[in-house]
């Protein structure tokens, strides 16, 4: 019988990060995938990034994960979004070559020492007492493991819907599994049904691009990975078109034939990624919706029709797509479909993503109720790190909400009652000005080095970079500029107020309308690259707001530092509401801060818990309990 330190179920975005993390931490790891050709498959849009999601990718990279480097390698088209907004919500988004992305990640797994990639379907998780012992495969093989990470994606009892046609299958004709769902239910886990979907894919040669708007890629100074050199390849454009009144009429006339409105789907879908039929129903006054035509690879004619996700029947799908400008003669290569699948109900995991009632069993990715490659990869990395730390006898790494979007993501999934596929957005982070995509390495690099996923050289590079930034800000603060006709002429041309008194370079750069270019015209000459200039400008211009958020974090941390023991019997605490007792018993929060984020726990309930903590502290100091 094979024996491993870690068994990972699934080689999607969560499983790949989890397996690489444990193997790189020195643990003998096996990852099982339903098909070797589907490692890191992108069954939906082969894109990475966007607001919130790009932040996750940068954070994964800062911790030593792989998704950022893999995206840069397979990038076909890249843009910086929200450039007219503040730095907190600016985000990279890249279109990747779907096959190249998958192939490169498979190579990384295959070449990683201590990691074994195997094709096989896990049907049962083996548990003895309250501890995981291994898995059993459909082939009859048994594999022993000290820890198991379940990263099964959307493959558990998955059901495809195309109009009135329904059949069992995973995404893009992959196999599904029933055994794993049954095994988890037998172990006491509660499963729920979620739903997602995907649009049709078309043959590029059948499209009339002269009827669409071209969206070329942009020159960006840095890709998703802050480690290593960024080499921008030749980019291909994406294209924009719109649905029409005819499109909407066709959909409205056929709503009863969709799986969603026909009653065949019971799973809950993502609110922020609705199907085209949901858009028509929910926004009846909107005359059109955007459709993005995005390439799927360098060597294929297949393109992704983003914005037309649907569960309409095949014949209606063709009518709908051909009613859109530029797509009148479209050749559909893959039909759109909706997919239902099993995932864990809320409140069954701890903040380290370990099961509450089974030691050594971790969960990551869409099985936890999230959606998206980036969310899955972030959970996979953290499950892998915490699995490795458990095997080392070390405490888990729990990222706080003020430290990382990853902290927000996992805290929400574990604490809140997630009733639909969870998508990371910047609006979910209370301290997003501190959690920018451009400072992820500063925030999290030390953790990556501590757990052993960043090399000493990589960490030293991060330290040198931020030391340079601090030094530059300090020198700008000491550089003085006197009022003069020449100086004021340059300032007025830049739309800025003339100087009346001596000002420092830092004071000038704090002005919203001024940048490094104006400082250079005023005599500030430094050999510093554009990436660092942007970081320095952000740190200076937003210094007041950053300090304000840091003070909020200090108040937040006082709640987080008040720990609640896992054994606490909330039913016995007088003054708590009945709903609070029920929710607190389910979630078993690790701190007062986490308790305050549980729906149904009121400020009055938090006050009661604060009194309980104070009384317990006094009892401890007096030697009683």
Specify the CATH architecture of the domain 201-338. Answer: Beta Barrel (2.40)
For residue 518, is pLDDT > 80?
yes
For residue 170, is pLDDT > 80?
yes
- Distance (Å, rounded) from C-alpha 220 to C-alpha 166? 44
How many residues appear in the chain? 625
Please give the average per-residue pLDDT across 1-8, as a whole number.
92
Question: Using one digit for the tens of pLDDT, what is the confidence trace for 333-366?
Answer: 999 999 999 999 999 999 999 999 999 999 999 9
For residue 151, is pLDDT > 90?
yes
Return the number of other C-beta atoms located less than 10 Å from residue 433's C-beta: 18
Specify the CATH architecture of the domain 468-549. Answer: Orthogonal Bundle (1.10)
Tell me if the pTM is above 0.85. yes
Please give the average per-residue pLDDT across 106-133, as a whole number.
97
Outline which parts of the chain fall under CATH 3.50.50.60: 2-194+341-451
CATH number of 2-194+341-451: 3.50.50.60
> Which of the four pLDDT bands, split at 50, 70 and 90, describes residue 531?
confident
pLDDT at 270: 73
Please give the average per-residue pLDDT across 443-448, as a whole number.
98
Q: In what order do the strands lie in the sheet with 201-203?
A: 213-215, 238-242, 290-295, 302-306, 201-203, 332-334
pLDDT at 556: 85
Outline which parts of the chain fall under CATH 1.10.150.570: 561-621
For residue 166, is pLDDT > 60?
yes
Please give the average per-residue pLDDT across 519-526, as a whole number.
85
Question: Using one digit for the tens of pLDDT, what is the confidence trace for 573-623?
Answer: 989 999 999 989 989 999 988 999 998 898 898 888 988 888 876 766 565
pLDDT at 466: 96
379 neighbors 409 (Cβ within 8 angstroms): yes
- Distance (Å, rounded) from C-alpha 376 to C-alpha 561? 28
pLDDT at 620: 64
Please enumerate in sequence order all residues whose Cβ is within 8 A of that of 205, keeping only pairs 6 or more positions apart, or say none. Answer: 301, 331
pLDDT at 153: 93
The SS3 call for residue 239 is strand
For residue 138, is pLDDT > 70?
yes
Mean pLDDT of the chain: 93
- Distance (Å, rounded) from C-alpha 64 to C-alpha 24? 10
Please give the average per-residue pLDDT across 58-77, as a whole number.
97
Specify the CATH architecture of the domain 561-621. Answer: Orthogonal Bundle (1.10)
Q: What are the DSSP E strand ranges found in 403-548? A: 480-481, 503-504
Outline which parts of the chain fall under CATH 2.40.30.260: 201-338
221 neighbors 530 (Cβ within 8 angstroms): yes
For residue 232, is pLDDT > 80?
no
pLDDT at 64: 98
CA distances to 201, 254, 330, 380, 613 from 250, rounded to whole Å, are 19, 6, 17, 41, 61
Rounded to 5 degrees, φ, ψ at 445 are -55, -35
Lowest-confidence pick of 3-7, 37-41, 256-260:
256-260
Question: Using one digit for the tens of pLDDT, what is the confidence trace for 69-105?
Answer: 999 999 999 999 999 898 999 999 999 999 999 999 9
For residue 571, is pLDDT > 70?
yes
pLDDT at 612: 86
pLDDT at 623: 59
pLDDT at 503: 92
Please enumerate in sequence order all residues whose Cβ is within 8 A of that of 576, keeping only pairs 6 or more positions apart, or say none. Answer: 570, 584, 605, 608, 609
- Distance (Å, rounded) from C-alpha 414 to C-alpha 417? 8
For residue 127, is pLDDT > 70?
yes
For residue 624, is pLDDT > 60?
no
For residue 290, is pLDDT > 80?
yes
> Which of the four pLDDT bands, split at 50, 70 and 90, describes residue 229?
confident
């Amino acid at each position: 019988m094979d024996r491993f330190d870690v068994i990972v179920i699934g080689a999607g975005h969560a499983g790949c990060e989890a397996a690489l993390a444990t193997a790189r931490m020195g643990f003998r790891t096996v990852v099982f995938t339903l098909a070797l050709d589907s490692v890191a498959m992108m069954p939906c849009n082969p894109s990475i990034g966007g607001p919130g999601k790009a932040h996750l990718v940068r954070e994964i990279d800062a911790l030593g994960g792989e998704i950022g480097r893999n995206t840069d390698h397979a990038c076909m088209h890249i843009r910086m979004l929200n450039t007219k907004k503040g730095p907190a919500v600016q985000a990279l988004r890249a279109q990747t070559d779907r096959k190249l992305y998958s192939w490169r990640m498979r190579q990384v797994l295959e070449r990683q020492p201590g990691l074994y990639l195997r094709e096989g379907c896990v049907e049962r998780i083996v548990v003895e007492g309250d501890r995981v012992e291994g898995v059993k495969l459909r082939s009859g093989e048994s594999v022993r493991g000290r820890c198991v990470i379940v990263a099964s994606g959307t493959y558990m009892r998955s059901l495809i819907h195309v109009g009135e046609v329904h059949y069992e299958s995973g995404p893009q004709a992959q196999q599904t599994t029933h055994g794993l769902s049954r095994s988890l239910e037998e172990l006491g886990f509660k499963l729920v049904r979620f739903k997602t979907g995907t649009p049709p894919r078309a043959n590029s040669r059948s499209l009339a691009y002269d009827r669409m708007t071209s969206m070329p890629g942009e020159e960006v100074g840095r890709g998703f990975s802050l480690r290593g050199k960024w080499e921008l390849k030749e980019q291909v454009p994406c294209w924009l078109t719109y649905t029409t009144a005819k499109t909407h009429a066709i959909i409205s006339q056929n709503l009863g034939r969709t799986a969603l409105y026909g009653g065949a789907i019971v799973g809950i879908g993502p609110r922020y990624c609705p199907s085209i039929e949901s858009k028509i129903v929910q926004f009846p006054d909107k005359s059109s919706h955007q459709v993005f035509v995005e390439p799927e690879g360098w060597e294929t004619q297949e393109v992704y029709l983003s914005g037309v996700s649907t569960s309409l029947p095949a014949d209606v799908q063709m009518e709908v797509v051909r009613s859109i400008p530029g797509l009148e003669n479209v050749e559909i290569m893959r039909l759109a479909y909706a997919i239902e699948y099993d995932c864990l109900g809320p409140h069954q995991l701890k903040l380290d993503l370990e099961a509450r009632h089974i030691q050594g069993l971790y969960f990551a990715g869409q099985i936890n109720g999230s959606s998206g490659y980036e969310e899955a990869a972030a959970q996979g990395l953290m499950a892998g790190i915490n699995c490795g730390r458990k095997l080392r006898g070390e405490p888990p790494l729990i990222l706080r909400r003020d430290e990382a979007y990853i902290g927000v993501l996992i805290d929400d999934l574990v604490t809140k009652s997630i009733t639909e596929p969870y998508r990371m957005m910047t609006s979910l982070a209370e301290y997003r000005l501190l959690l920018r995509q451009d400072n992820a390495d500063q925030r999290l690099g030390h953790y990556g080095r501590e757990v052993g996923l960043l090399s000493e050289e990589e960490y030293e590079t991060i330290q040198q970079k931020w030391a340079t930034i601090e030094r530059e800000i300090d020198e700008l603060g000491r550089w003085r500029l006197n009022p003069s006709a020449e100086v004021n002429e340059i300032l007025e041309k830049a739309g800025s107020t003339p100087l009346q008194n001596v000002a420092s370079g830092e004071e000038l750069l704090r002005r919203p309308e001024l940048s490094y270019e104006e400082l250079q015209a005023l005599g500030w000459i430094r050999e510093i690259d554009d990436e660092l200039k942007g970081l320095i400008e952000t740190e200076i211009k937003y210094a007041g707001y950053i300090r304000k958020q840091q003070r909020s974090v200090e108040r937040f941390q006082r709640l987080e530092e008040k720990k609640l023991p896992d054994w606490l019997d909330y039913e016995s605490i007088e003054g708590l509401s009945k709903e609070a007792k029920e929710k607190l018993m389910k979630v078993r929060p690790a701190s007062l801060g986490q308790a305050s984020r549980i729906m149904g726990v009121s400020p009055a309930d938090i006050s009661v818990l604060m009194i309980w903590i104070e009384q317990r502290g006094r009892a401890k100091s007096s030697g009683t309990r």
